[in-house]
Structure 1
Amino acid sequence: MPGRRKVGNLTALAVLAVLVERPMHPYEMATTLRGRGKDQDMGIKWGSFYTVVRNMERHGLIAAVESVREGRRPERTVYRITDDGRAELVDWARELVATPAAEQPRFRAGLSVLAALHPDEATALLHRRLAQLEDGISSERETLAAHAQVVPRLFLVENEYDLTIREAEAAWIRSLLAEITSGSYPGLAEWRAYHEAGAPGSGPTGGGGTTT
């Protein structure tokens, strides 16, 4: 369950996912994770990477197997995944796949205070966001199609998810913009009148979480 992990940072999950393949030293782990884009999937904080690795060793998820030296570089410790680490990897994957968790996207925060903007400005900003989303979607589709030629689909599933989420967001924004520009959006007249009157205060909604 969430909160019971010995090392709860998602960086630990990323480390387990590469060490299950073979033993590596931390620099090789980091290089492999960067090369596969796992820093984007899991929000890896590279400044704390070595601390996470040490914590994982302390809790028995990984174990040192040898120290190696390459030329004049400092000696590096090679780690392997332990049985406890394998069990943690599988259990963590099960939790993340099966259990929805509350997340706080920045866009949702912006929508929660959309009433602070004049409808015309909100519309312009949403159009700007939509244009950027559409450009990104087009690029991601091309990249995904290219990767699908050489990479098994199983290892692109997170990219498919990202693309689907962005496509859904773009479709929702188009729908919202259609309502605002057609004048059919509920409360639009009051929203517009509030800003055009220049009234002080918290906005036409007076706060709350379901105002837009």
Structure 2
Amino acid sequence: MAKRRTVANPLALAVLAEMLVEPLHPYEMGRRLKEHGKDRNIKYNRSSLYMVVEQLVKAGFISQQETVRDTQRPERTVYAITDDGRREFFDWMRELVATPQQAYPPFGVALSLLSVLPPAEAGELLTARLAALGAEIDAIRAGITAATGDGLAWVFLVEEEYALALLEAEHRFVTGLISSLQEPDYVRAWHEIFGSMT
């Protein structure tokens, strides 16, 4: 069972990871998260980043180190990870890597209710999804090829490889599902159960 975290937002984990290297101010944290591609896996904006920084300070995982004054920019507070923050980061990371956790993705919800849609319409919608998945797969493959061509080490692309594996598995699944929806026995059974409701 997953441990209840004081600050459970995945953005907090990414912020702590960036701060393991050196103290940072929130603007620089945001820039580095984007530069390192974390915005592809973690949703955030400027206000959510500042909110997470406040939560991490309150939890004692980071602390103000200094305030930097620059004539061309507003005053910025630099934060450093604390010993508690370092322990929290590594404990949380070990849990996430070792322990599978149940997620409730929207597509899973749709699949649980798919039988309500007419088979032909469900097939059309899934065919559209298949095209979108194919485009995502192509984009990720191109990104991985470009990054490795530029000399980026494989370990910095593992989340892209994981995303690619999930998309390819979903593509195979959806392809099979479309075939199953076209089976005459299924179409006949659907019309017997739901035909009068449409």
TM-score by length of 2: 0.91
Task: Summarize the alignment of residues 61-76 of structure 1 with structure 2, pairs less than 5 Å apart.
Answer: 61-76=61-76
Structure 1 position 8 matched with structure 2 position 8: yes
Code of the residue aligned with 2:67 in structure 1: it is: S
Q: Which blocks of at least 5 consecutive residues in structure 2 are unaligned?
A: none
Q: Using the alignment, how far apart are the partners of 2:62 and 2:181 within structure 1?
A: 55
Alignment partners' CA distance in 2, 1:179 and 1:11: 39
Residue 192 (structure 2) pairs with residue 198 (structure 1): no
Match of 1:189 in 2: 188
Q: Does the Cα contact within 8 Å between 2:17 and 2:89 map onto a contact in 1? A: yes
Show the counterpart of 1:176.
177
Q: RMSD over aligned Cα, in angstroms?
A: 1.8
Question: Deviation string for 1:83-110 (max 9, x for gaps)?
Answer: 1111111111101111111111111111
Tell me the matched-pair count. 197
Matching of residues 1-212 of structure 1 within 5 Å: 2-149=2-149, 150-183=151-184, 187-195=186-194, 197-199=195-197
Residue type matched to 1:9 in 2? N
Contact between 1:10 and 1:44, CA under 8 Å: does it hold in 2? Answer: no
**C-alpha distance in structure 2 between counterparts of 1:159 and 1:194, whole Å:** 42
Which secondary structure does the structure 1 equivalent of 2:21 belong to?
A: coil
Residue-by-residue CA offset, 1:9-36 (whole Å, 9 max, x unaligned): 1111111010111111111001111222
Runs of 4+ off more than 4 Å:
none
Identity of aligned residues (%): 42
Q: Show the counterpart of 1:209.
A: none
Alpha-carbon distance in 2 for matches of 1:177, 1:75 = 57
Q: 1:204 maps to which residue?
A: none
CA distance in 1, matches of 2:59, 2:197: 58
Q: In 1, distance between residues paired with 2:40 and 2:142?
A: 19
Uncovered stretches (5+) of structure 1, i.e. residues with no partner: 201-212
Change (3 A) 1:126 1:156: same
TM-score (norm 1): 0.85
Q: Distance in 2 between matches of 1:55 and 1:119?
A: 48
Q: Is the 8 A contact 1:62 1:79 kept in 2?
A: yes
